[in-house]
Every structure is written in C-alpha cells, then in structure tokens.
Amino acid sequence: MTTASAPGKIILFGEHAVVYGRPAIAAPVSQVRATAVAQPNPDSGVRIIAPDLSADFLLADAAEDDALAVTLRQIETAAKLSQLPDLIITVSSQIPIASGLGSGAAIAAAVIRAVAGQLGLAHLATDEWVSNLTYEVEKIHHGTPSGIDNTVVAYEKPVYFVRRQPTNLIETFAVKRPLRLLVADTGIRSSTKIAVGDVRRHWLANPDQFEVLFDGCGRIAATARTAIEMGDIAHIGRLMTANQRLLEEMTVSSPELERLVMAALQTGALGAKLSGAGRGGNMITLVEDEGMETAVRAALLAAGAKTVLTTTIKT
Ligand code: PMV
C-alpha cells in the first residue's frame, strides 16, 4: 500500500496575468492537503473511491472528462502501459473545492505520487513529472492553465513562475522574513474556467487596456519577489493591495471578496487581495504579528468569512 499527499496553494501575486506570460508568485499551504492511497485490488479493474464526493467507481466506467480518470489515464500513458494493473485508489482532501486553493491540482498530484509509488515507477514520482502530469489534468478545470498551480503543489515550495515556451521559468527564492498570512474563504464557489474565459473575452475586446493591467500585475510580482527576498514586509503588503486593485479592474473580484479585503485593511493588516481565479473563493491578508492576526481574524469573521486559516510562508 502506498500513501501520498500534496498541499493546497495560494497565489501571492499575479493570478490571471500569469496566463499571459507575466510573472507570478505562488506558495504551498501545507496544513491543508489532498491524500491518495493506492493498494492492490483483489478484484479486477481499477477502482476509485472518494468518500468526500460519495464516489466509488471503476476506471473503465468513468466519464471521459472525469478528473480522477484523466489522472489515471495520464499515468497509464506516461508509464507506456496498455492498462494499469488492478488497483484500489482512495482519495480524500481537506482543501475546499472551487475556492482558489488548488484542490484539483493537489488531488491529481497525490494520486500520481501514490500510484507511481505503488507500481514502482519512481521516475513518475519526481516533482517534475508530477507537475507535468498534473498540468494535463488541470486543463479540465482551467481550459488554458498557466501551469503555476501544478508547479507549486508538486514542488511544495514558494515559486516565482513565468509561463513561456519551450519551458516555463520556475525559480525558488529565499523568504528572508516568514510571511504570516490569513486565508479567508468567502464561502462562494467559483469556476476558474469561467473567470479565465471572461478575462480572455475582455482582453480580446480591449487589448490595450488589459495588456496594461497585465503589465502592472507582472511588475508587482517582480517587485514583490525582491521585497520578499529582502524581508520588507510593509512593502509586500502594499504590493498585495495594489495587485487587488488591478484584479478588480480585470472584473475578477466580487463584493464579498472586497468586504473581506476592506475589513482586513481597516483592522491594520499590511495588505490584502483575492487569491486564485476570484469571483469568490479565498482572499489572503498579510499580518505582522500574533496580535494583529487575532484582530484581523475576528474582523474577517465579522465581515462574513466562512473559515479563516493561518499559514506561514517560508523558504
Ligand atoms: O486554481 P485557481 O482558482 O487558484 O486559479 C489559478 C490562477 C489563474 O491565474 C486564474 C489561472 C491559471 O491557470 O494560472
């Protein structure tokens, strides 16, 4: 039996603009995880059990676009197997779905690691392969994924990422002062595919305006990397809020997200923004110390947050 897991993630800077080749920064949220267990199936076939989703089915009967089935077919192809051996794969996740925390990518990454481990396919369990195979699965959730989600959940480190040909730029970097963040959920589920598609339509209709917005996000992400490397917490906070304003102009914010952003800033948080595709899902806010964390958490809950987690980003 082989068990593997992968973390949730947040995008610190540059969501959406990253799809258009601008730099972005993402970090793992290691305390919320997706877990997969792979073990031999005494009966024939590949059986997938996902108790959280009340799902229990055979790969042979799965819908063409089912994310777990696509994940397993990716492994089958990468391993050059005509058919996977008889397995039971059990999947569970603490990461809320459709909320910008990368649950789809984490589930795929955990399944790839568990199945590759169980079948002795060590090369497929490397971070690079897990990331690449997860990217193929992400296409179902995202349409045109930038590649940042699969990268951060597979490498489980903060990454500076630029989508480019022939290979993406993926750099890890030093976090001089740990970043203490609160992650607050609006409770509103939103589709990444729809938000990304809407941004594309706006970009096609107003290319000049959207190129300027994307450039602004890219500059913020590049500046933020230096600020993170130098430990300039106040500057990082200001850059987060500046990124939020550009995301609002891109139409991917929402009244609920903005209520939480405002509550955090009014309580003294150093910066706040939505994280991920937007329109719902989670926002993140940077706090200086435990006292500020307690006050901002209370303000977020009073402003309608359904849950608030704390996470610390370090190298
Ligand atoms: O998976 P989400 O909701 O965190 O969104 C991913 C971030 C986007 O930049 C909006 C899309 C992408 O592929 O990078």
- pLDDT tens, residue by residue, 7-40: 999 999 999 999 999 999 999 999 899 999 999 9
pTM as predicted: 0.93
Asked whether the beta carbons of 13 and 27 are under 8 A apart, the reply is: no
Query: Each residue of 250-305: pLDDT tens digit?
Result: 999 999 999 999 999 999 999 999 999 999 999 999 999 999 999 999 999 999 99
**Residue 315 — pLDDT band, cuts 50, 70, 90?**
confident
Closest approach atom of ligand 1 to CA 145 = 13
pLDDT attached to residue 125: 94
CATH number given to 2-172: 3.30.230.10
Active centre residues (catalytic): 149
Pocket of ligand 1 (CB under 6 A): 11, 15-16, 18-19, 100, 102, 142, 145-146, 148-149, 192, 196, 276-277
Query: Each residue of 50-107: pLDDT tens digit?
Result: 998 889 999 999 998 899 999 999 999 999 999 999 999 999 999 987 778 888 999 9
Distance 138 CA to ligand 1 centre (A): 10
Query: Each residue of 147-156: pLDDT tens digit?
Result: 999 999 999 9
Secondary element (H or E) of residue 34: strand 24-40
Query: Each residue of 184-217: pLDDT tens digit?
Result: 999 999 988 899 999 999 999 999 999 999 999 9
* CATH of range 179-313; options 3.30.70.890, 3.20.20.70, 3.40.1160.10, 3.40.50.300: 3.30.70.890
Classify residue 84 by its DSSP letter.
P
- Probe residue for ligand 1, chosen from 192, 220, 246, 251 as the CB with the greatest number of ligand atoms within 8 Å: 192
pLDDT attached to residue 192: 87
pLDDT attached to residue 53: 83
pLDDT attached to residue 140: 82
Cα distances (angstroms) measured from residue 295 to each of 209, 240, 281? 38, 19, 22
Instruction: Give the burial class of 50: count Cβ atoms within 10 A of its Cβ; 0-12 exposed, 13-18 middle, 19 or more buried.
Output: middle
pLDDT attached to residue 96: 80
Query: Each residue of 135-171: pLDDT tens digit?
Result: 999 988 777 889 999 999 999 999 999 999 999 999 9
Nearest C-alpha neighbor of 168 from the set 150, 143, 153: 150
The residue ranges of every structural domain in the chain are: 2-172, 179-313
- Probe residue for ligand 1, chosen from 9, 10, 11, 101 as the CB with the greatest number of ligand atoms within 8 Å: 11
- Probe residue for ligand 1, chosen from 142, 144, 160, 213 as the CB with the greatest number of ligand atoms within 8 Å: 142
Closest approach atom of ligand 1 to CA 105 = 1
Q: Say whether 196 sits in a helix, a strand or coil.
A: helix
Please enumerate, as own/partner, the contacts of 207-212 that have beta carbons within 8 Å and a separation of 24 or more: 210/250, 211/20
pLDDT attached to residue 131: 96
Residue 186 in tokens: 């609006």
pLDDT attached to residue 76: 95
